[in-house]
């Protein structure tokens, strides 16, 4: 069966379809064109295709494509969106697949459109009658800006398959544990005035200086309280990622907004962390003029840990010859877990390439990924599947 383009052409076509998702509405785009392209290829391969629009946004959708029937089965999952990009820092057009020195460059090649093409390549020769359990291709929206696609799955109908591979960039090393992710905003509001007389206003930037100091102190304390040696960075991390305040040197700064990213370890509660930081920052502001407002940029993503005894973990160990490990970045795994799936993270890209100019996937990763996915499919969907 070859009614779809070759794998390199599939990657090129997916890269060519812009699908940036961002918390900034000015940069945010839909992913429907990518979903419709994948749906067309899935239909050509005999999948039953279900395009599920996200509530309130007709330009965004998830794809649930199912081949075969029965209990159990395997889900090959990936998100269709990319992060924003700096075009002037790319050596080639981000939306045109470009080969250089054994690498395919393009926005989303590593993170993670190429995986979706490779998953389809792995099933090119399969037919539903060969399967004893369902095989599902799951493609989602908005992973990069709030996991909205994964969250919408719970209320959009059933998804077959009980073992899942999410093809995020891991260099083909299996992962069963990852940190959570929180993106939080801190706003300090003062009062603007002429800079020649500090008494004419309340400088929000000076108050934010104290807030930042307290966040850095808290970060150090979290690192002493929590530690998990399975991670390359074994402590929770807190990154001060964005700050904006004031408008002119000769005006007292009337407002400052800070955004930070916090990566909790398994066992740490996002709700408890938010309560703790609020208590600490309100204590800081009690000694300073100005008003403090805290908010979440998105509800947050919990950590994930798939049991060592899970079938997908055992299969990953056997098929790769590696012990499934841990990574610091987050995925849609917790939401697939909530749908009743056991999840590993396993994809051909490298996290060092994710979100970078000249993002690429190595050509020598393509064939091994297809072979490995075919072995997982045989294990969970074909004769002898448990």
Which residue among 81, 111, 142, 342 is the active-site one?
Answer: 81
Rounded Cα gap, residues 268 and 262, in angstroms? 11
3-state secondary structure of 127: coil
CB-neighbour burial class of residue 102 (10 A; exposed 0-12, middle 13-18, buried 19+):
exposed
Looking at the chain, which runs of residues are DSSP E strands?
A: 48-54, 57-67, 74-79, 98-100, 103-105, 135-140, 163-166, 175-178, 182-189, 237-245, 255-263, 291-296, 304-305, 325-327, 342-345, 360-362
Buried b (16+ CB within 10 A) or exposed e, 15-43: bbbbbbbbeeeeebbbbbbbbebbbebbe
Is 121 annotated as catalytic?
Answer: no
- According to DSSP, the residues that pair with 51 across neighbouring strands are 63
CB distance 363 to 298 below 8 Å: no
Cis status, amide bond into 129, omega within 30 of 0: no
Is 6 annotated as catalytic?
Answer: no
Which residue among 143, 148, 342, 359 is the active-site one?
Answer: 143
3-state secondary structure of 7: helix
* Helical pair 32-44 and 113-122, crossing angle rounded to 10 deg: 10
Give the C-alpha distances (Å, rounded to integers) separating 290 from 69, 77, 175, 281: 61, 46, 45, 12
Spell out the residues 6+ positions from residue 314 whose beta carbon is closer than 8 angstroms to its own. Answer: none
Rounded Cα gap, residues 299 and 53, in angstroms? 21
Q: Among positive and negative, which fits the CA dihedral 155, 159, 164, 170?
A: negative
Q: Which residue blocks in the chain are alpha helix, DSSP H?
A: 7-16, 32-44, 113-122, 148-153, 204-225, 270-285, 311-320, 333-338, 366-381
Active site residues: 81, 143
């Amino acid at each position: 069966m070859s009614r779809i383009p070759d794998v390199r052409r599939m990657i090129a076509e997916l890269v060519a379809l812009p699908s940036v998702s961002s918390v900034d509405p000015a940069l945010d785009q839909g992913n429907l064109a990518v979903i419709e392209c994948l749906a067309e290829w899935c239909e050509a391969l005999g999948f039953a295709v279900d395009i599920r629009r996200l509530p309130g946004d007709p330009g965004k959708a998830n794809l649930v494509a199912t081949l075969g029937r029965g209990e159990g089965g395997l889900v090959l999952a990936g998100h269709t969106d990319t992060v924003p990009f700096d075009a002037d820092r790319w050596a080639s057009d981000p939306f045109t697949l470009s080969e250089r020195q054994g690498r395919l460059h393009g926005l989303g090649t590593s993170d993670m459109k190429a995986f979706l093409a490779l998953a389809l390549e792995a099933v090119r020769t399969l037919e539903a009658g060969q399967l004893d359990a369902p095989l599902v291709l799951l493609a989602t929206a908005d992973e990069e800006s709030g996991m909205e696609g994964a969250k919408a799955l719970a209320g959009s109908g059933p998804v077959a398959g009980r073992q899942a591979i999410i093809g995020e960039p891991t260099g083909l090393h299996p992962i069963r544990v990852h940190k959570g992710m929180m993106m939080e905003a801190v706003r300090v509001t003062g009062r603007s005035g002429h800079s020649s007389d500090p008494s004419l206003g309340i400088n929000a930037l000076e108050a934010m200086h104290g807030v930042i100091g307290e966040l850095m102190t808290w970060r150090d304390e979290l690192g002493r309280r929590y530690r998990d040696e399975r991670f390359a960075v074994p402590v929770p991390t807190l990154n001060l990622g964005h700050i904006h305040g004031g408008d002119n040197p000769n005006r007292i700064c009337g407002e400052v907004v800070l955004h930070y990213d916090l990566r909790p370890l398994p066992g740490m509660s996002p709700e408890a962390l938010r309560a703790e930081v609020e208590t600490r920052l309100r204590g800081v502001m009690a000694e300073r003029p100005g008003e403090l407002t805290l908010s979440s940029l998105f509800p947050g993503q919990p950590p994930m840990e798939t049991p060592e005894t899970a079938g997908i973990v055992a299969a990953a160990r056997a098929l790769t010859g590696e012990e499934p490990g841990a990574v610091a970045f987050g995925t849609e795994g917790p939401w697939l877990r909530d749908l009743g799936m056991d999840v590993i993270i396993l994809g051909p890209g490298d996290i060092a390439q994710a979100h970078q100019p000249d993002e690429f996937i190595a050509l020598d990763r393509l064939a091994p990924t297809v072979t490995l996915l075919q072995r997982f499919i045989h294990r969970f969907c074909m004769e002898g599947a448990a």
